[in-house]
A and B are shown apart, each in its own frame.
Chain A
């Protein structure tokens, strides 16, 4: 017994190293598998509030720039409405305004501020300043002003963690505009503007410069949200599908606010998809 104690004492450093290293591996693996533990993420209240505070300071210095971009966005929306009014023959604008009032719209957008994000790691996340209290749910899609950002992965009362499309675990269902071929968008490069499109069949007639939009097959994003354009088409020997490089048209590293997509018929669509699987 005494010898054993002596042994443990003598090798205590090595044992501590071994045990702690094993704990780390367990944490990493566990964390990669099931990402549900909220304490492990920055949606944790304490860290969230520190991040929110430092973001506030940063926000202050970027106010002008943000105002400009909001103005631009507003202008674009106004433009759309005006164009709609001009082109509609009989007073269709009346109907349009009515639909805006309608609370049974399929998609509703919940705006939220970005309080923290990473862009340069292998698996990137982003934290939003809204959570369960504001009606967010796990699995909802998140859009920026120019395109897709990611999917909500975990929630606390006031914060939400978003799995960015720039994450090794992210798969986004997309299609090629006007050609209806559909595939999965993944991130394999280290460049935050370059993504890879998989599973597009070899017989598809595609060309460089084609536009990539969301397919609308998933319950997270509405159809036809803009993503980017085809940058290069690679052929893999022995494979039936292309490996396509897609260049995103927007920069994910300077987003400061986002819109969460709340899809009203989510449960309905989910049940249908489940039935189909059975």
Chain B
């Protein structure tokens, strides 16, 4: 149990550091700048299944606020992470394996790569579309929101799966 908590803290610190120091410096391919690597939502996705729902929502809010301070966009990332922390519960219920979540850890190691891939893809996609909608704050830029979401989604998901397969965490 304690190991689960410490592993989650280490993971959160590690991913947040990568996000605000490395991934914030974006790869802009000339005039094509729709790819923004945004991977920190996986922290919230991978909190253990048995944690209190309300606690997870507050943790999500804190994570988003932390990222916001570095992105100069107070409220935008926090809004998106609070949203996915809330809907996480329903997604997990909907995706529940037939034998239930035995080990409480939501990792590829425990639940298999295909399950983990689907789950993370859903979470990242919801996070990104909510994030870019909040950032534009109106649907005038609908085309931009959609393009950004799609391209960032593919790149971020690829990076997350890559990291997950390399480290292959147990907890």
Contact = CB atoms under 8 A, between A and B. Distances in A.
Interface residues of A, number: 37
B70 A25 contact: no
A13 B86 contact: yes
Contact of A44 (B69, B89, B135): B69
Given A21-B79, A24-B78, A122-B135, A42 B70 contact: yes
B76 A42 contact: no
Contact of B74 (A40, A121, A161): A40
B46 interface: no
Nearest to A28: B75
A217 B166 CA distance: 58
Looking at A20, A50, A119, the one whose CB has the most chain B CB atoms below 10 A away is A20
Interface string B64-98: 10000111111110110011011001000000000
A147 to B, nearest CB: 18
A124 B86 CA distance: 29
B75 A120 contact: no
Contacts, number: 94
B137 interface: yes
A121 B86 contact: no
Contact of A27 (B28, B78, B137): B78
13 contacts: A12-B53, A16-B54, A21-B79, A24-B76, A24-B79, A25-B75, A51-B70, A118-B24, A120-B33, A123-B73, A190-B33, A192-B28, A253-B28
Interface of A: 12-14, 16-17, 20-21, 23-28, 31-32, 40-42, 44, 47, 50-51, 54, 58, 118-123, 125, 161, 190-193, 253
Given A20-B58, A24-B61, A24-B82, 7 more contacts: A21-B79, A23-B78, A24-B78, A119-B33, A190-B34, A191-B31, A192-B33
